[in-house]
């Protein structure tokens, strides 16, 4: 087996970067959820303050 083949097999077996990718995906999903909830929450807060302002 050649040296290049050995290095290629070691590279394919290496899983050290896998955790970083998983954390990145989790962070992306959480960011999307936050953006969606903030958009909904922004409209609710805006309506609340408009109602308070109109009542005076």
The 10s digit of each residue's pLDDT in 4-55 is: 888 878 877 877 667 778 888 999 999 999 999 998 899 889 999 999 999 8
Residue 9's SS3 state is helix
What is the reported pLDDT for 43?
87
State the Cα–Cα distance between residues 38 and 48, nearest whole angstrom. Answer: 15
Q: pTM for the full model?
A: 0.52
Half-sphere exposure in the Cβ direction for 24 (13 Å, CA) = 5
Element (DSSP H or E) covering residue 23 = helix 18-55
What is the reported pLDDT for 10?
84
What is the reported pLDDT for 29?
96
């Amino acid at each position: 087996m050649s040296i290049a083949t050995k290095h290629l097999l070691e590279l394919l077996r290496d899983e050290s970067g896998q955790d970083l990718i998983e954390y990145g995906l989790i962070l992306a999903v959480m960011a999307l959820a936050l953006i969606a909830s903030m958009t909904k929450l922004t409209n609710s807060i805006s309506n609340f303050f408009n109602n308070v302002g109109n009542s005076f």
